[in-house]
């Protein structure tokens, strides 16, 4: 099944955010506003600006499962992201990435191993998944891998070249 077939609402209420991204290379990232890794929003937005014209998009997926670091409402999250980091990439509704209420999207994403072979639950905010144009999960990056890390950028460029 293609990741783009997973139904997830946009933060502002759009019903089927991922269907709008079919045919694009997408970096799916679980995000939080009050995390030590929150400054990664800057590099995520830089990727969005640099590669969007080539058919790339970041998608931020707010999640409050990690020490309550995304407590805000949809409006508060949207305001924080746009005013603090100038975020222009799409944000989804707030979801659970782990546990009994894990969102359908994360049921698919967590089956992919990272470079160290880790498969399973999301470990922390800002874990990243690169999805191909046809909706296949290509690779997974741990939370500490910055969006502008050479391995992340190389993987994005590789997918964009296909």
Residues annotated catalytic, as ranges: 35
CB 50, CB 157: distance < 8 Å: no
Contacts of 53 (CB under 8 A, 6+ apart): none
How many other CB atoms sit within 10 Å of the CB of residue 141?
21
How many alpha carbons fall within 13 Å on the CB side of residue 116?
5
Separation of alpha carbons 80 and 83, rounded Å: 5
> Who's near 135: CB < 8 A, 6+ residues apart?
1, 2, 3, 4, 5, 22
d(CA 152, CA 40): 13
């Amino acid at each position: 099944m293609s990741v783009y077939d997973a139904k997830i609402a946009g933060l502002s209420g759009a019903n089927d955010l991922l269907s709008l991204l079919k045919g694009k290379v997408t970096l799916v990232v679980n995000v939080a506003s009050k995390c030590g890794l929150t400054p990664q929003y800057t590099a995520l937005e830089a990727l969005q600006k640099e590669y969007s014209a080539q058919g790339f998009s970041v998608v931020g997926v707010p999640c409050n499962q990690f020490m309550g670091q995304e407590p805000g409402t949809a409006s508060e999250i949207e305001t924080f992201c746009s005013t603090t980091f100038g975020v222009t990439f799409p944000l989804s509704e707030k979801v659970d990435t782990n546990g009994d209420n894990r969102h359908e999207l994360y049921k698919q994403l967590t089956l992919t191993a990272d470079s160290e072979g880790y498969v399973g639950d999301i470990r922390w905010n800002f874990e990243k998944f690169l999805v191909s144009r046809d909706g296949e999960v290509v690779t997974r990056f741990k939370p500490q891998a910055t969006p502008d890390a050479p391995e992340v950028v190389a993987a994005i460029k590789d997918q964009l070249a296909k």
